[in-house]
Amino acid sequence: MKVSKICLLSIAGVLMAASALAIETTAKNVLVMDYDTGEYLYEKDAYEPIPPASMSKLMTVYILFSKIKDGSLSLEDTFTVSENAWRKGGAASGSSTMFLPIGANVSVEDLIRGILIQSGNDACIVVAENIAGSEEDFAVMMNEKARELGLKNSHFENSTGWPSPEHKMSVEDLAILARHIIKEFPELYPIFSEKTFTYHNIVQGNRNPLLYTMSDADGLKTGHTEEAGFCLTASAKRGDRRIISVMSGMGSNKERSEEAEKMMNWAFREFNNYKVFKQFERVLTVPVYMGVENEVDLVAKEDVIVTLPRNLAKDAKLTANYTKPIKAPIMQGDKLGEVVLSVEGQKDRVIPLYADHKVEKLGFFGRIKANISYFFFGK
């Protein structure tokens, strides 16, 4: 058995002459992610569990959106405001509030806007109590969902992000959660970009500063407590690309706005997405031994897109590896090789390759003939 290596063409064509300039930020915890590829463009203490403040309301909304998507709730359904929700989450607590009156029946649609635009703690508690019976039981649901989504450094004690010693999330987990929300709920996601919402004759503005300074920003959620500092989970779409950025630990709203915009613009400017292969496009053809066909095409099962610094993309190299001879029978979809994408200074990316069709094994006499041919001619 022999491993064959084939050098393919560089993936980059004519690229902008840009440099992947280093960047610094005053934020304590940061993750910048390309939405399409999920690749991390910038990390700074991204895996540390930290107080997420109101950014943890994204999990409350994720659970609510999931119930709307599966049909167990509708936007027109109403939830009742308990005294507990009014007292713990309302103006009497000095917290962010939707100003919900005790005993009111509030539509799910209004509660969503109360959470996303007004950051209402009362709206979160109403959602938690009406879905799970209590905020404590809703926190159990939040933790179960976090495990399902692969959030490794998150633990929830409440629906609001109210300070609690064990209530933690990492900025990586927040970025992953934001990506799920954008991908899974395209019909509801535009609510994040609405700038104002009026409830009970009280007008409140969206607290996301990027909505007012970046025309392509469209979400997601701010947070602020004394311990967490000023925080932001943000998303912006520019052309075909979307960037998600999560930042925490800043000292003021002004700093939060400036640092978030700086990191977003840097990510759009210094990186680009490159399509390496199209789904089911032939990458290479390899020989088949003992098959009714002498060769089979290897393909990628899906579009392969990578995010690279613009100044390094032109030097990216692709090397295809497979073990030969490949012996029949071969089933369609069998993994028969891989392509390694190499970029200077970055970890190699490995792209698996699969047989594009089935190749039957030769019959008895055909195998004898093939063995003789292989013995004398090596093919």
Q: Is 145 in the active site?
A: no
Residue 113 to residue 359: CA distance in whole angstroms:
56
Known active-site residue 183: no
Q: Distances in Å between the alpha carbon of 372 and those of 58, 267, 325, 327, 367? A: 66, 59, 15, 16, 9
| Distances from the Cα of 287 to the Cα of 76, 293, 297, 323, 364, angstroms | 61, 9, 9, 10, 20
- In whole angstroms, give the CA distance from residue 321 to residue 65: 44
Cα 288 from Cα 311, distance rounded (Å): 39
The distance of Cα 134 from the centroid of its chain, to the nearest Å, equals: 30
Query: Alpha-carbon distance 230 to 247, whole Å?
Result: 8
Strand runs (DSSP E) across the chain, as ranges?
Answer: 2-8, 29-34, 40-44, 78-80, 105-107, 196-199, 202-205, 217-225, 229-238, 241-250, 271-277, 282-289, 295-299, 304-309, 317-324, 326-327, 335-342, 349-355
Neighbours of 36 (CB within 10 A): 17
The residue annotated as part of the active site, out of 57, 145, 168, 221, is: 57
Place of tokens 């508690």: 125
Contact 114, 159 (CB under 8 A): no
Please identify which of the residues 56, 119, 159, 170 carries the catalytic annotation.
119
Catalytic residue list contains 252: no
Active-site residues: which are they? 54, 57, 119
